[in-house]
Structure 1
Amino acid sequence: MGLWLWLEYTNYPNIISTMMQLSDSLVKSLSNEALTCLDTLAAFENPPIPKDGEDLDLLDAKIWSNKRPCDDVTEEDKTMFLTFSRGFPVSEEEVRELFITDYGNGSVVEIVMGNYEANNQSMFATMVLNGVALVDEILQGLRLAKLRANGKDIWVRKYDRRN
């Protein structure tokens, strides 16, 4: 909490109220990222903490010691779960086209369509994207987002492995 208060005091007004509007999973991710930053700074004898009026260069290699902020992201972190409406079959090609059109070439790494029902319709799919930031962009701070491909509804959410 001290980090967020310090950020709000220095250069990021309203960061806490902005964070309060985010989903629990995004707040948890921010919290984990804050802990990583603090652990990294704690490893320095003379941490690169800016003085009043100075900016902290988060791209400075000395801060990350050969580790970028997203290096520990797993494939599961970049995976979304998609569901489709019964009676409105959606193909893998339609899903791929939707995301490539909206988010660019290379945005989709892999799509795995779920089991097909008797009417030859898959009711779900998992999709691996090229980064966690894209997952966040698609969900826009929500737990669930509704997209449309060729007039058919596609519901997307962050993938959550269920054992």
Structure 2
Amino acid sequence: MDGTQYTVTLDEFKLFHGIDRTLYAVLVRDLGRDTLECLHIMGLWLWLERGGFCNFVSKILSLPPFLINELADEAVICLKCINTQLSEVAEIPLTHSLAKKDISLQFFQENRRTARHEIQSLITGVCIPSLSDIMEKTLHNESPTHSQIMLLSHAASTTSPLNQIPAGSFVDSSSMISNLRTAANTKARANETSRNERTMFVTFSKGYPVTETEVRQFFTRLFGNCIESFHMQEVVSPNEQALYAKIVFLRSSFIRAILSGVSKAKFTINGKHVWMRKFVPKNERPLPMYL
């Protein structure tokens, strides 16, 4: 060997981490998750991949978005376990199913010192330089904080050597999805109460049609990224008006802000009246089609 050193450009580095970039884009763009939180989630997943959980990122990327979101929620729990002592009882069934190994929160507790150091190194040396442009585009409309600006400034001038991806065979995606769906269904039942606490029932005046876009834009202007999902009444004819919708917010605090201590709030969106109240599941009390 002649001892020649090869310097990897930032563009080459991003190309090498194309799978990581795609998954990060799904998290922050498609799922609307926090950009910096997702940076740490990616650091955790890369740490697992380099620690012997082969092709962990590729396996996650092959899953439907709703499962990726659930896995991200579990990653946040794992990060809390690494950085602090968890006081509540928590499980990570999807991560366990995907890893195909015996992994639990105890694993992260026992390896917390090493994990904290190595995850931070991956964030600094891999995630920030390879994902900085996606972060910047996502933060463009989010009024980035000083710490976020400093991270992006650091990323713009960073180059890093290539990191060898651990070898390993891909598992059968259909079998993997089937196993994860089973775990997700179990977790979903436990999370249903939490989702109901973040859901509002919305009704519109007949003769004054309101679109999903109008409602989303109205609350985005008020609270920023606040809506997890939006379910408008299905109509048969294009000329038929939807009279109600169900909105799941990211946090229950948005609902408290909307109601401000009353049971039903009234808003005017583009000159059309909209009424909102806390969602009550059908098995507790039947909901009217419209008010």
**Normalised TM-score (structure 1):** 0.54
3-state SS in 2 of match to 1:75: helix
Aligned residues: 99
Higher relative contact order (CA 8 A, sep 6+): 1
Structure with the bigger percentage of strand: 1
Distance 2:268 2:250 in 1: 21
Structure 2 residue aligned with 1:121: 241
Q: Any residues of structure 2 matched to 1:66-85 within 5 Å, and which? A: 66=88, 74-85=194-205
Structure with the bigger percentage of helix: 2
Q: Does residue 148 of structure 1 match 2:170?
A: no
CA deviation map 1:100-156 (0-9, x unaligned): 01111x201111001327642100000000101111110001100001111111100
CA deviation map 1:40-96 (0-9, x unaligned): xxxxxxxxxxxxxxxxxxxxx77x7157xxxx7611110000000000000010111
Q: Does residue 65 of structure 1 match 2:87?
A: yes
Q: State the identity %.
A: 34
Structure 1 residue aligned with 2:279: 159
Query: Rg larger in 1 or in 2?
Result: 2
Q: Which amino acid aligns with 2:87?
A: S
Report if aligned partners of 1:115, 1:123 keep a CA contact under 8 Å in 2.
no
Q: Which amino acid aligns with 1:114?
A: Q
Structure 2 residue aligned with 1:89: 209
Q: Does residue 111 of structure 1 match 2:230?
A: yes
RMSD: 2.5
Distance 1:90 1:117 in 2: 16
Q: Which sections of structure 1, spanning at least 5 residues, go unmatched?
A: 1-60
Distance 1:93 1:151 in 2: 15
3-state SS in 2 of match to 1:100: helix
Distance 1:159 1:117 in 2: 24
Distance 1:116 1:149 in 2: 21
Q: Which amino acid aligns with 1:126?
A: K
Q: Which amino acid aligns with 2:241?
A: Q
Q: Which sections of structure 2, spanning at least 5 residues, go unmatched?
A: 1-83, 90-190, 284-291
Distance 1:103 1:125 in 2: 19
Structure 1 residue aligned with 2:107: none
Runs of 4+ in 1 over 3 A off after TM superposition: none
Q: Any residues of structure 2 matched to 1:23-42 within 5 Å, and which? A: none
Q: Does residue 130 of structure 1 match 2:250?
A: yes
Distance 1:116 1:152 in 2: 19
Distance 1:86 1:117 in 2: 16
